[in-house]
Structure 1
Amino acid sequence: MHPSPETLPADERDAPLRVLRETFGYEAFRGRQREVIDAVTGGRHALALMPTGGGKSLCYQIPALLRNGTAVVVSPLIALMRDQVEALRHYGVRAAYLNSAMDPRDRRECERALAAGELDLLYVAPERLLTDALLATLERIPLALFAIDEAHCVSQWGHDFRPEYMQLGQLAERFPHTPMVALTATADARTRSEILQRLLPAGAETFVASFDRPNIRYRVRLKERARQQLFEFIQDAHPGESGIVYCMTRRATEEVAAWLSERGVRAVPYHAGLSGETREFNQERFLREDGLIVVATVAFGMGIDKPDVRFVVHMDLPKSLEAYYQETGRAGRDGLPSDALLLYGSQDVYRVRAMLESSEADLRHKHAERQRLEALLGFCEQTGCRRQGLLAWFDEAHPGACGNCDNCLEPPETWDATEPARMVLSCIYRTGQRFGANHVIDVLLGSSADRIRRLGHDQLSTYGIGREYPRSVWQSIVRQLLAQGFIRPDPEGHGGLCLAEECRSLLRGERQLVLRRDTRSSRKKRARTGDGASAQIDPADRDDWEALRACRREIADAEGVPPYVVFHDATLLAMLQVRPATLEEMASVSGVGRHKLERYGEAFLRVFNG
């Protein structure tokens, strides 16, 4: 049992920092971690919003080790529970999980340990937590706290809605004296309000840390030959490194994975249509092997705690900026340099616009979804700092000029496209607002195609007025007009383009339109990041770096865990910089706690001492 902070003597009032150092091996808290920990340790309720990789887990794990009783952690995915419990056990923490996939004997042992007060933390899915049997057990034992992870799942406005989360509000009524903390990395103002209303007791404190992930480089590229662009990006920037590639459809995930494999890039597919055994096998490979790429639908990744994912690529538009932020946040959880690449084209814009137009949702929901769509398309087309635009959606100001996004590193060229845009709008109107982009562009270019003549469109005033620009420029203009809401897909779903109300001011000459000038991408190699630490490793230290990784791999294989459970890359990098000769010196390395020092210290010292 752990003493509550109120009973600690004066010289131990900084117990959170002591646990951070001795158990987890870190010297200082980050961001608002300490504030959340103090609130929950003191018995108060809290909502904590922190970026992926920002240390949310410590905000309930440390109070769990300081307060009396067992902490119950609600987690939505079995894989996530398993990874977090395995990692905690390697820190010497008494952690366990309960889920439907457990062997009955293991489940009975976990339930026995829970009833006997032998657990510091219990991870459980919301469905199992709310069973009568488990709730009755919890009422009979001391409880340190309830932690609700991925709390945005409660919101119907969020991108990972789980109706089971809606029922968790009853915990506050049934256990009124147990502090509750809800945590998420993704929540706009609407979602935060719903979390507070549905999950936490009145008066809960809200702690919002910066959502900025400065180690992630954001890039948006015009989709040309998407697979070749992906292949060149991997070869140039991340050869031999772990990454996630997101595709819209199940079929695409399998085709892209096979296409990469044929070219010597180790890749496996993941989607809900695969058998459970295949999904689990591919996920386990991704967790345990270095340099494997998973090509997946968004069904993959929410429960992944792998810290050394070096890149995330979206081959299609994500659902929203929240989804984009959450999915790209799976890269670089260890704080080392990582990339987020989004490939984006006219068909993506048309598709998401058409989905919105055909939605049968009520007006309020359609309005909210339209706002989210406008924000996502605005992010893709913006000419300023990506980080500034992304963080603004989460109500966080950023000065711009981040120096780590494509627009800051290679500022895009813009041009006054007011007159050409009016030509497009006029041509859409004169052709009857029922033809697609290719037909409209054919009219503007003065095409002699039979269909143009048959429809009489060669007699229109807009016929041939756009010959001064190539087709690629007109395609760019149409895409950006769609993105900015001046035109929209035919609501009847026939593939045509219609004028939107927003275009009136442009047609009347009341406003100017400045667009980004698309440039065809050329293959530019940049210094590879290697395994995320390579850029920081002196060539003379390369052999020792590989020896540290080999030592970690040997231990991980023997224990049947992913390598990062032993030590993160960032910890190995810190070892390389400190080059410890004794266990005392090893103890000073960031990420080496007391338990891991005793368990692995000698093995890693041998790398330096022979």
Structure 2
Amino acid sequence: MFFDQDFEQLSTERPTGQQKDPEQVLHEVFGYETFRPLQGDIIREVVEGRDALVLMPTGGGKSLCYQVPALVRPGTAIVVSPLIALMQDQVAALRELGVRAAYLNSTMDFEQARATEYALTTGELDLLYCAPERLIQPRTIDLLHRVSISLFAIDEAHCVSQWGHDFRSDYLQLSMLAGQFPGIPRIALTATADERTRKEIAERLSLTGARHFVSGFDRPNIQYRISPKTNANKQLLSFINGEHEGDCGIVYCLSRNKVEATARMLADKGYNALPYHAGLSAEDRANHQERFLREDGIIIVATIAFGMGIDKPDVRFVAHLDLPKSLEAYYQETGRAGRDGKASTAWMVYGLQDVIKLRQMLEASQGTDHFKRIERQKLDAMLGLCEVTGCRRQVLLNYFGDQLEEPCGNCDTCQTPPETWDGTLAVQKALSCVYRTGQRFGVTYLIDVLRGSENERIIQSGHNQVSTYGIGTELSTNEWKSVFRQLVANGYLRADPEGYGALQLTEKCRPLLKGAESIQLRKDPVVKSESRGSKGRKPSGSEIRDQITDQAGWEALRACRKALAEQQGVPPYVIFHDATLFDMLERRPATLEELSEVNGVGAAKLEKYGEVFLETLASLN
């Protein structure tokens, strides 16, 4: 298993944190001086026995919102978590802090599960993580009725929403907690939910009376960049080589085959790249995820099956080689970068075929007309982010009801504002060509007609005789691709729902064809041979390294951390985050008391690792 629950090493005494206030617990257990915005208010709400619905961005500190109350209120906190890897990761981190935490999931054999249940019934646990499908079993409910429960925390609560991108049917039954355990506070948490989804979460989890805490969705340390797709592999390599050499990252692809091909391509170029998708064996998925968590410089190439709840703090980039289906999915996936608050990049390339493929998948789905209408709106919002000429961050935040008054200055459209051009005439030519050729052909064929190609297929079909043949020689093939991409993205053309990639006119294009409207199009940037990122931008992975004046000392502390992590069988960041090591190096503490003032060093870690790190620091002098 990822983490072996050894209850013999846990104290049977509840930490004295039960009688302390939340600020004391934060400092003594977690090693932090102050709560982040909203954390204190949320924690006091739950400590006082009231329900809460929390929306907080990835990396914003959601976990502390139930972990601190769990150590203040009497009894055991029950945490509903959707993924085995997530609960194992969090339990490992909590136990390193001296917190009595455990989990119940399908990886455990009978004896392990029985030992955990015994620890629960004898009051030896502060937090128990449990999968929703396990929690809703009658046997588990009966077990919980026999113990003292401090609170229920429902993590990744967007899984309850049928409009969400991670819908889990087991979450729908969690509303029964309100009836089964009246008087016990419940806190639902998610990083991603628009207003419709927030309302649905509250209704489906019987939290309509809960106070809502909505933190700002902005992740200012993440730079958002979206480019037209020309040669995805070449663009990805240029991006990583230029800005993220040696960094840890995630690359998302839509299909399993593309995941495998991209991982092989990166590996052939010398990168530690591993595939992750549902077609791999459970053993391979677990192994690849464990390497990603524990090793430096690993790049995971994955479908959306990877990443929910992953707590790795130093993911420096998230790259998309295919267009996500919604802004919720995009925000959730890009949010896995830069959880430590350091500069990171959300990079994506997308093209016309992405738009066509997603629209065809949507129309071919078995959903109701209402469902399809909502999904079209979500896809349109995603496309709007791709084609926007203003600040991307403002568009992204506005979607979630969060306002950014000024352009962010840290997205590609802010740093290099895109040019626009009057595309009215070109658009009329393109739309007319679709009509004149019978609305039966894809973009490549249409461009060939517009540019007057003499290929055999056009001649045989007689389309070298239509009025639009050869009238588009003023634009290059790539420029015409940009025109068609924007027409599809903005709803003037649609992909044939029957497939085959044929483009068809929509009612929206009528005013353009009649000359009653004009249209401004984005001018795609010229693709350079190698991109070093946006103007003035340093490779984000080097941010901490650039601040380090004692490189030998930094490497010594990292080596110490790695050795301890291997001994404990946990990822290095579970011992200490990079930010904590950096603070050590800056402060150079010489005593345990001085070390206790380092950000991120709590009482348990001070006792367990303090002397080892002090020896390492002393050896640097």
TM-score, normalising length: structure 1: 0.96
Query: Would you say the 8 A contact 2:345–2:540 is kept in 1?
Result: no
Indicate yes or no: 2:514 matched with 1:508. Answer: yes
Query: Equivalent residue for 1:455?
Result: 461
Amino acid in structure 2 at the alignment position of 1:423:
K
CA distance in 1, matches of 2:544, 2:64: 24
Query: Equivalent residue for 2:75?
Result: 69
Query: Equivalent residue for 1:144?
Result: 150
Query: Would you say the 8 A contact 1:152–1:186 is kept in 2?
Result: yes
Deviation, 1:227, is 1.3
Query: Equivalent residue for 2:187?
Result: 181
Aligned mate of 1:576, from 585, 589, 614: 585
Query: Equivalent residue for 2:608?
Result: 599
SS of the aligned residue for 2:102 comes to strand
CA distance in 2, matches of 1:126, 1:448: 61
Give the gaps of 5 or more residues in structure 2: 1-12
Query: Equivalent residue for 2:420?
Result: 414
Query: Would you say the 8 A contact 1:78–1:303 is kept in 2?
Result: no
Query: Would you say the 8 A contact 1:81–1:97 is kept in 2?
Result: yes
CA distance in 2, matches of 1:485, 1:503: 8
Query: Equivalent residue for 2:216?
Result: 210
Cα deviation, 1:445-485, whole Å, max 9, x if unaligned, reads 12222322332222222222212112211111001101111
Indicate yes or no: 2:227 matched with 1:221. Answer: yes
Query: Would you say the 8 A contact 1:182–1:200 is kept in 2?
Result: no
Aligned mate of 1:309, from 305, 312, 315: 315
The verdict on how the C-alpha distance between 1:129 and 1:577 changes in structure 2, with shifts beyond 3 A counting, is same
Cα deviation, 1:62-86, whole Å, max 9, x if unaligned, reads 1111111110000011111110001
CA distance in 1, matches of 2:238, 2:456: 40
Query: Would you say the 8 A contact 1:26–1:592 is kept in 2?
Result: yes
CA distance in 1, matches of 2:444, 2:166: 36
TM-score, normalising length: structure 2: 0.94
Query: Would you say the 8 A contact 1:385–1:408 is kept in 2?
Result: yes
Indicate yes or no: 2:544 matched with 1:533. Answer: yes
Query: Would you say the 8 A contact 2:226–2:348 is kept in 1?
Result: yes
How many residues are matched?
A: 602
Indicate yes or no: 2:553 matched with 1:544. Answer: yes
Query: Equivalent residue for 1:349?
Result: 355
Query: Equivalent residue for 1:239?
Result: 245
Q: Which moved more, 1:149-158 or 1:574-583?
A: 574-583
Query: Would you say the 8 A contact 2:77–2:150 is kept in 1?
Result: yes
Amino acid in structure 2 at the alignment position of 1:242:
C
Deviation, 1:4, is 12
Query: Equivalent residue for 1:56?
Result: 62
Query: Equivalent residue for 1:475?
Result: 481
Amino acid in structure 2 at the alignment position of 1:536:
Q
Amino acid in structure 2 at the alignment position of 1:382:
V
Deviation, 1:395, is 1.0
SS of the aligned residue for 2:275 comes to strand
The verdict on how the C-alpha distance between 1:330 and 1:596 changes in structure 2, with shifts beyond 3 A counting, is same
Cα deviation, 1:311-364, whole Å, max 9, x if unaligned, reads 111111112111111111111111111111111111111111222233332111
Aligned mate of 1:87, from 80, 90, 93: 93
How big is the alpha-carbon RMSD for the aligned residues of Structure 1 and Structure 2?
1.7
Aligned mate of 2:140, from 116, 134, 137: 134
SS of the aligned residue for 1:310 comes to strand
How many percent identity over aligned positions? 59
Query: Would you say the 8 A contact 2:343–2:541 is kept in 1?
Result: no
SS of the aligned residue for 1:458 comes to coil
Cα deviation, 1:121-155, whole Å, max 9, x if unaligned, reads 00000111112222112112211000000000001
Query: Would you say the 8 A contact 1:2–1:68 is kept in 2?
Result: no
Aligned mate of 2:334, from 308, 318, 328: 328
Query: Would you say the 8 A contact 1:180–1:200 is kept in 2?
Result: no
Deviation, 1:502, is 1.3
SS of the aligned residue for 1:608 comes to helix
CA distance in 1, matches of 2:588, 2:409: 32
SS of the aligned residue for 2:35 comes to coil
Query: Would you say the 8 A contact 2:312–2:339 is kept in 1?
Result: yes
